[in-house]
Structure 1
Amino acid sequence: MATRNGISLENASVTLGGTRILSNLTLHLTERRIGIIGRNGSGKTTLLRLMAGLIPATTGSATIDGIAPTDRKAILPRLGILFQNPDHQILFPTVAEELAFGLRQQGQSQAAADAAVTALLIRESRGHWAKALTHTLSQGQRHYLCLLSILLMQPQTILLDEPFAGLDLPTQIRLARRLAALPQRLITISHDPSAVANCDRVLWLEQGQIRADGPPDVVLHAFKAEMARLGEQDADTDLTN
Structure 2
Amino acid sequence: MTPPLLEMLDVDLAVDGRRLLDGINLTAHERRIGIVGRNGSGKTTLSRVMAGLVKPDSGRVRVGGVNVGDDRKAAIRQVGILFQNPDHQIIFPTVEEEIAFGLGQLGHDKQAVAEGTSAMLARFDKSHWAKAAVHTLSQGQKQLVCLMAVLAMAPRVIILDEPLSGLDIPTRMQLTRYLDGIEATLVHVSHDPAALAGFERVIWLSDGRIAQDGPADDVLPAFTTKMTELGGADDISDIAG
| TM-score after normalising by structure 2 | 0.96
1:59 and 1:240 map into 2 onto residues whose CA distance is 25
> What displacement does 1:69 show?
0.4
- Equivalent pair of 2:11/2:58 in contact (CA under 8 Å): yes
- Equivalent pair of 2:12/2:24 in contact (CA under 8 Å): yes
> What displacement does 1:122 show?
2.6
Alpha-carbon distance change, 35 to 207 in structure 1, aligned in 2, over 3 angstroms: same
| One-letter amino acid matched to 1:200 | E
SS of the equivalent of 1:36 reads strand
Quick one: percent identity of the two aligned structures? 48
Partner of 2:30: 31
Partner of 2:18: 19
> What displacement does 1:124 show?
2.1
> What displacement does 1:240 show?
5.8
RMSD, aligned α-carbons: 1.3
- Equivalent pair of 1:52/1:81 in contact (CA under 8 Å): yes
1:46 lines up with 2:45 in the alignment = yes
Partner of 2:198: 198
1:217 lines up with 2:223 in the alignment = no
- Equivalent pair of 1:38/1:191 in contact (CA under 8 Å): yes
| One-letter amino acid matched to 2:47 | L
1:238 and 1:205 map into 2 onto residues whose CA distance is 19
1:123 and 1:59 map into 2 onto residues whose CA distance is 41
| One-letter amino acid matched to 2:203 | L
1:169 and 1:216 map into 2 onto residues whose CA distance is 23
- Equivalent pair of 1:12/1:25 in contact (CA under 8 Å): yes
- Equivalent pair of 2:7/2:26 in contact (CA under 8 Å): yes
- Equivalent pair of 1:11/1:26 in contact (CA under 8 Å): yes
Alpha-carbon distance change, 43 to 239 in structure 1, aligned in 2, over 3 angstroms: closer
**Aligned length, in residue pairs:** 240
- Equivalent pair of 2:198/2:217 in contact (CA under 8 Å): no
Q: Which deviations, in whole Å up to 9, do the C-alpha atoms of 1:70-118 show, x marking residues without a partner? A: 3111112211101110001101001111110000000011221112212
| TM-score after normalising by structure 1 | 0.96
Partner of 1:98: 98
| One-letter amino acid matched to 1:44 | K
Partner of 1:115: 115
- Equivalent pair of 1:35/1:203 in contact (CA under 8 Å): yes
- Equivalent pair of 1:83/1:163 in contact (CA under 8 Å): yes
1:153 lines up with 2:137 in the alignment = no
1:20 and 1:95 map into 2 onto residues whose CA distance is 38
Map 1:52-131 to 2 at 5 A.
52-70=51-69, 71-131=71-131
| One-letter amino acid matched to 1:37 | V
1:239 and 1:190 map into 2 onto residues whose CA distance is 23
Q: Which deviations, in whole Å up to 9, do the C-alpha atoms of 1:100-151 show, x marking residues without a partner? A: 0000000011221112212222332212111110111100000000000011
Q: Which deviations, in whole Å up to 9, do the C-alpha atoms of 1:150-170 show, x marking residues without a partner? A: 111111110000121011101
| One-letter amino acid matched to 2:38 | R
> What displacement does 1:3 show?
6.5
1:189 lines up with 2:151 in the alignment = no
SS of the equivalent of 1:27 reads strand
| One-letter amino acid matched to 1:30 | H
Give unmatched runs, 5+ long, in structure 1. Answer: none
Alpha-carbon distance change, 80 to 39 in structure 1, aligned in 2, over 3 angstroms: same
Give unmatched runs, 5+ long, in structure 2. Answer: none
SS of the equivalent of 2:154 reads coil
SS of the equivalent of 2:236 reads coil
Superposed structure 1 runs of 4+ greater than 4 Å apart: none
